[in-house]
Amino acid sequence: MRRFYWRGRNYRLLMLTLGTVLLLFHEARAAAPCNDMPPSKLLIFDIKAADPQIVVLPAKALERQPRNDLVSRHALMQSEVRIVTWFEITHRMIPRDDGSVCDAPIMVRVGFGLDRRTVLLARRAAGNVCLRRVMLAHERAHIQALNEAVDDVIAQRTPDITSGVTALKQSAASDSDAAKLQWQAGLRAIVLEVRQELSDRLHKAVGDADQPSAKADFETACNGALRRLEGQQS
């Protein structure tokens, strides 16, 4: 059983992965499909980010902070979160009389979601109790919208993931190593495709949460404290 994580974008690797899958499928075409295999369990779940790490720093340092996949910027505040995908295959090899091998995994687990959630607050904003409360409430609304987007994508793409897993299970291989590679490459390609759609949906969710009305709420909250603090130097 091996676990695979995917946290960044690398379309060159995606193309190489798809090429590997096509080569393996071509190699396996001569063998009869793997039918009448024992059942496999597919679990698709969401990955929820833990409570955010809150970092207080000088306002000028906000621009110098490294960015994760999703970034939301406001005056004196920045929040970041990383998109993560994960899969794990519990292989089960079934040899056949013709020398080929079928891999009918006992379980396939796939996860999509968010991790490494960070909220950066300018020191002068973090020191204002009311403004800090407003900023963290906005961040909670962000995370709720992002989690809902993750759940929506998983619900919409579960049939496609299920179909892809079924196709992989029906594909024979020359030996156990080739069967494992075939599954790993094929499932990785499926996961990366869903991840791209997830990324698009999450970026839209961030944009929707940061409409001009949200900026106006910040500027007027706490009797206009944000506007006063923006003019300070620390």
pLDDT value of residue 7: 46
Q: What is the pLDDT of residues 93-112, one digit of tens each?
A: 999 999 999 999 999 999 99
Range of the domain at 121: 2-230
- Mean model confidence pLDDT for the chain: 84
Residue with tokens 């000088």: 58
Report which of 177, 223, 217 is spatially closest to residue 75, judged by C-alpha positions: 217
How long is the chain?
Answer: 234
C-beta atoms surrounding 66 within 10 Å? 7
pLDDT value of residue 65: 64
Q: What is the pLDDT of residues 109-154, one digit of tens each?
A: 999 999 888 999 999 888 999 989 988 988 888 899 999 999 999 9
Domain count, the chain: 1
Which residue type sits at 72? S
pLDDT value of residue 231: 64
Q: What is the pLDDT of residues 70-86, one digit of tens each?
A: 888 888 888 889 999 99
Residue 8: pLDDT band by 50, 70, 90 thresholds? very low
CA 44 vs CA 53, 85, 111, 131: distances in Å: 27, 11, 6, 39
pLDDT value of residue 48: 86
pLDDT value of residue 209: 83
pTM: 0.80
pLDDT value of residue 55: 92
Which residue type sits at 197? E
